[in-house]
Amino acid sequence: MEFENYEQFWLFYVSQHRNATSRRLHVTGTSLALLCIALAIFVNPWWLLAPIPIGYMFAWIGHFCFEGNKPATFGHPLWSLRGDFRMYMCMLTGRMAAELAKSEKIYPPKK
């Protein structure tokens, strides 16, 4: 799909993350990736090899096992990374339900 701007992409991105377990897996993967970056800074730089595989592993399990869709990163890698961090913050601050509601107006769930 093509998008005119990031905000349009964001609503699509949210629509691809309706499943709560998938979103929790994304948050887990992102948290562990951030931990690996901290470990690389403060303990050993070899930890920099871990964030990408760990983050994607959790996210892809969410997509393939719980969402039943293809990760948006395949078509829009940078916007997807940005979307992942935005979703992470929405999840941590309790704003994800509102984002899901906005997304469903444009991308209604399949019945």
pLDDT digits (tens, 9 = 90+) for 23-67: 999 999 999 999 999 999 999 999 999 999 999 999 999 999 999
pLDDT on residue 110: 83
> pTM surpassing 0.85?
yes
Beta-carbon contacts of residue 69 (< 8 Å; ≥ 6 apart): 16, 63
At residue 1 the predicted structure's pLDDT band, cuts being 50, 70 and 90, is: confident
Nearest residue to 52 via CA among 77, 17, 86: 77
- Interior/surface letters 66-89, b for 16+ CB within 10 angstroms, e for the rest: bbeeebbbeebeebbeebbebbbe
